[in-house]
Structure 1
Amino acid sequence: MQLQEVRSFLRGAADLVMESLPAVMERRRDITWKGDGSPVTAADLHLEALVRAHVAHHLPGADFVGEESYREGDALAGGHLVLLDPIDGTENFCSGLKEWGVSLGLWQGRDHLGSLLLLPELGQSLMTGDRIVPERSRIVGFSSSFHEEIARQMGEVRESRITGCAVYNLYNVARGAFARFCNPKGAHAWDLLPGLMLAREQGCDVMVDGSRFDGRFLEPHRRYRVDIQHRHDLHPGQGPLGG
């Protein structure tokens, strides 16, 4: 697939999500609880089904890995693969906060073709191929999954934020509104991988499980620790922040 085709596929999925926003909001308070105590709403299931149908129409036969339907051990054929978190930050979403997002990535034979981060209620998105004017920040974003390393680092940095949504964090570090995003406890590929790929595209330094990330596909059955730094020095006129 050429970049234009990939962007058309991703844009089509984003348009579907935005068009279905009224139906998504109607399902916001329809909440059940997973075995680990985390919430899932009828909106999560609605959006996953919507995007899955989009995939089936445009990429028949593609493997589909969605947070709400994936089961460890599901066979992946090795052709086109779509990775989706329909609502990242469900705790925010079902609490009435706007900081939640959709994470979508497309691969072929484990080669990355393109990714999308979408924040529907905030009206913001980032897609493979987008050209951005990066922000300049000293804010460090942290995961809301508590870890002793977060407490230690928050005591060392000047400005920090915990927002409860990986898509929000990844979107902001990729565009430079966060100088860094750190999740030392770990999250799944559907939470992280599309955003990691976009961060790499925007010139960020990306570490996964303590090693420099080379863009490889992350298997969906386990969690990964990430640390991402936006490289202000790579952008003309944006040197390192001081103070």
Structure 2
Amino acid sequence: MSHDIAALLDGVRALVNDALPLLEARRYDITLKADGSPVTQADIFLEDKLTSWLAERLPGLVVIGEETFDGLATADGNNGWVAVLDPIDGTENFCSGLKEWGVSLSIWRGRQHAGSLLMLPELAEHMMTGRPIRRVRSRITGYSSSIVPEIIGGISEGGEARIFGCAVYNVFNVVRGALARFVNPKGACSWDLLAGLMLAREHGCDVSIDGVQFDGSFLEPDRRYRVDIRHRYDLHSG
């Protein structure tokens, strides 16, 4: 990753942290989307703020954001900058006053990955391309909160299981080893997953998308992807 992209991602971190009081002021201003899921004015505010800030620094930028995606934006035929953004992943947690929510940002030039960032702002945690992480060890499997029979079956088989309600939180923790595995058999969108999947590959996790090993390709925004990520403890000492 170039130093410019590293500096850009650090700038995003600073912007999000500085915006926390403004997000808090909008945290409980909630409306429901057509699918019944919540969106807060904080989601909308932060996506707008990050989109404007990034566009000033990456000429011709196309932003694929959860709150503004219109079904048309794509990386096809675009050799310029593309940002895949979820400003607040885990909105149900966020608007319930929980701290387990995150920001997901993946920057691409055409279809080449430039850098990715995961943030857990209220937990003061982040992970980004090219930066070392401190690994831990766990027996826990994290599951998506989109309950389907595969999740019920997995939990009923025994072992340690958790449902956190935030893809960023789950992927962040499986990459660092605080979860042994993260499973989402129903599927999630590219803005939920892409940054975390690229970081999982960087740090040696086994990553499966729709039952096939993930090769680091760009994920299209108009569909859902089923995910299974395992931390490779055998690759790391301690």
CA distance in 1, matches of 2:125, 2:72: 34
Q: Give matches, 1:107-186, under 5 Å.
A: 107-186=108-187
Deviations 1:106-145 (A, max 9, x none): 0011111110000111111100111122111110000000
Check conservation: 1:114, 1:127, Cα contact below 8 A.
yes
Check conservation: 1:3, 1:129, Cα contact below 8 A.
no
Q: How many residues matched?
A: 236
Q: 2:230 aligned with 1:234, yes or no?
A: no
- Which residue number corresponds to residue 24 of structure 1? 23
Unpaired runs of at least 5, structure 1:
238-243
Unpaired runs of at least 5, structure 2:
none
- Which residue number corresponds to residue 67 of structure 2? 68
Q: Report SS of the residue matched to 2:157.
A: coil
CA distance in 2, matches of 1:199, 1:26: 33
- Which residue number corresponds to residue 5 of structure 2? 6
CA distance in 2, matches of 1:154, 1:93: 25
- Which residue number corresponds to residue 36 of structure 1? 35
Q: Report SS of the residue matched to 1:102.
A: strand
Q: 1:116 to 1:75 in 2, by over 3 A?
A: closer
Amino acid at match of 2:44: L
Check conservation: 2:141, 2:181, Cα contact below 8 A.
yes
CA distance in 1, matches of 2:61, 2:55: 7
- Which residue number corresponds to residue 221 of structure 1? 222
Q: Report deviation, 1:75.
A: 5.1
CA distance in 2, matches of 1:5, 1:60: 14
Runs of 4+ in 1 over 3 A off after TM superposition: none
Check conservation: 1:140, 1:157, Cα contact below 8 A.
no
Amino acid at match of 1:53: S
Q: 1:73 to 1:231 in 2, by over 3 A?
A: same
Deviations 1:59-105 (A, max 9, x none): 02111111000111235433110010000000000000000000000
TM-score (norm 2): 0.97
Pairwise CA RMSD of aligned residues? Answer: 1.0
Check conservation: 1:142, 1:181, Cα contact below 8 A.
yes
Q: Percent identity?
A: 58
